[in-house]
């Protein structure tokens, strides 16, 4: 007797990743003798040291617990339960926690999974850090890889208007990070984007092994085992980043608003989104000059993605604090007087450039990168996301809207 598992509606290894939100886990018995009452099994977890932790429930919105008893039919019919990461206990390595199915003391099947969560870059393990920088370096592939598309999405002109020219600033960057993260996961599925808490000192981020150390001239040095030493963008070698404010390794800038102040901007999106200036804009310019301090070049610096991951996390925290996941709630977004009155790309029902492929005015004349990368774990947001698809990232309004990422403290 053994168990056949299907996680996230897939039997593929690439789908064995969890967040804090429920994932469907389908099980069926194989090679078993008929029994009219079925076989009662117990689901539990097997954790490696410091590994992730998981919880189970019979229903998606039910009570999740460390163990779950389920009756599996012997005729091969599947039973679906739900599994999610145990909040506060994310994984550190791929497969460091396993779904275990037992009948009594007999193990019928195990399935290694990962509770893959976006974490504070300052507390990553060396392994998590190294896997992230390796995936970034390989995605960039000496400036010739897929990363070039991400560079070309974040430039001046009409592209700038799409990314920064209105209330779509936060949804656009959420889609942008999601697309990049999925591309990184295609290289190494254990990678999640880390975030830089720019309102706190981050000594472990600004090291030769991670985001590098800038010298007085503004040239960033990486250690010999850090593949980011081969970083190149647009034919230009290396990363230019010069300290012009406090050193973020040791001191938080007084010009960059603290998280609490950002979350206190108000419960209405229109008020909250002034964070585009501070802390977002200030985080770009108050610590460093160099690429990261100008929109046309910011995405040349890998640190940019850690910065924006924190901007996205702040939005996610604000959403959680004020229950602003539903686009139908007026305060959840800054819609115009009519559904189409804002610049295309900023109305709630608009498709997002460049994933929509639209290259006619007012959209930019090119759409680098093609459609949004798909995830083996979730179906949303599809290849051409809308602004509204970015709001319900946890699938709280509609479970099918989950985008497949979560933060370690939300």
CB closer to other proteins, 79 vs 187: 187
- Residue 79 · residue 57 · CB < 8 Å: no
Structure tokens at 10: 């897939």
C-alpha–C-alpha distance, residues 309 and 193, integer Å: 7
Provide the β-strand partners of residue 407.
118
CB of 51 to other proteins, least distance (A): 20
Q: Hey, is 28 helix, strand or coil?
A: strand
Measured from the CB atom, is 19 or 140 closer to other proteins? 140
- Specify the DSSP element, H or E, that contains 18: strand 17-18
Q: CB–CB of 51/98 below 8 Å?
A: no
The smaller minimum CB distance to other proteins, of residues 334 and 406, is found at: 334
How far apart CA 330 and CA 348 sit, in angstroms, is 11
Nearer of residues 107 and 187 to other proteins, judged by Cβ: 187
Q: List residues binding other proteins (CB under 8 A).
A: 130, 134, 137-138, 141-144, 156, 160-161, 164-167, 217-219, 221, 223-227, 229-232, 234-238, 240, 242, 244-245, 255, 265-266, 268, 270-271, 273-274, 276-278, 280-282, 284-286, 289-291, 293-297, 334, 336, 341-344, 346, 362
Taking the least distance from each CB to other proteins, the nearer of 294 and 365 is 294
Least distance CB 280 / other proteins (angstroms) = 6
Q: Alpha-carbon distance 77 to 93, whole Å?
A: 33
Could you tell me where the beta strands, DSSP code E, fall in 37-120?
A: 39-47, 54-57, 68-72, 79-85, 97-103, 106-115
**Rounded to whole angstroms, how far apart are CA atoms 197 and 152?**
26
Is 38 or 289 the residue whose CB approaches other proteins more closely?
A: 289
């Amino acid at each position: 007797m053994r168990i056949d598992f299907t996680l996230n509606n897939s039997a593929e290894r690439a789908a064995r990743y969890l967040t804090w939100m429920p994932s469907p886990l389908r099980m069926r018995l194989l090679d078993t003798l008929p029994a009219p009452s079925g076989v009662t099994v117990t689901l539990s977890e097997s954790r490696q040291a410091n590994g992730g932790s998981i919880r189970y429930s019979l229903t998606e919105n039910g009570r999740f617990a460390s163990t779950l008893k389920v009756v599996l039919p012997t005729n091969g019919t599947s039973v679906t339960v739900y599994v999610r990461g145990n909040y506060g206990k994310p994984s550190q390595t791929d497969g460091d926690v396993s779904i275990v199915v037992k009948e009594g003391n007999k193990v019928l099947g195990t399935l290694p999974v990962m509770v893959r969560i976006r974490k504070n870059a300052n507390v990553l393990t060396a392994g998590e850090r190294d896997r992230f920088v390796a995936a970034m370096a390989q995605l960039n592939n000496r400036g010739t890889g897929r990363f070039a598309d991400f560079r070309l999405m974040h430039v001046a002109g009409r592209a700038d208007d799409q990314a920064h020219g209105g209330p779509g600033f936060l949804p656009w960057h959420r889609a942008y990070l999601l697309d990049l993260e999925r591309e990184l996961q295609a290289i190494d599925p254990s990678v999640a984007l880390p975030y830089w808490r720019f309102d706190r000192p981050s000594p472990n981020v600004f090291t030769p092994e991670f985001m590098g150390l800038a010298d007085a001239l503004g040239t960033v040095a990486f250690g010999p085992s850090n593949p980011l030493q081969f970083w190149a963008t647009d034919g230009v070698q290396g990363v230019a980043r010069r300290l012009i404010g406090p050193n973020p390794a040791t001191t938080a800038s007084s010009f960059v608003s603290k998280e609490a102040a950002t979350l206190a901007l108000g419960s209405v999106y229109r008020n909250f989104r002034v964070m585009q200036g501070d802390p977002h804009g200030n985080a770009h310019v108050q610590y460093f000059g160099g690429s990261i301090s100008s929109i046309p070049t910011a995405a040349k610096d890998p640190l940019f993605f850690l910065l924006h991951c924190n901007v996205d996390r702040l939005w996610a925290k604000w959403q959680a604090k004020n229950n602003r996941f539903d686009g139908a709630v007026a305060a959840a977004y800054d819609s115009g007087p009519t559904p189409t009155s804002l610049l295309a790309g900023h109305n709630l029902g608009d498709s997002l450039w460049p994933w929509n492929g639209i290259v006619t005015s007012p959209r930019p004349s090119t759409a680098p990168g093609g459609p949004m990368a798909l995830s083996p774990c979730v179906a949303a947001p599809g290849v051409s996301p809308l602004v509204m698809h970015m709001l319900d990232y946890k699938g709280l309004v509609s479970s099918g809207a989950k985008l497949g990422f979560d933060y370690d403290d939300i």
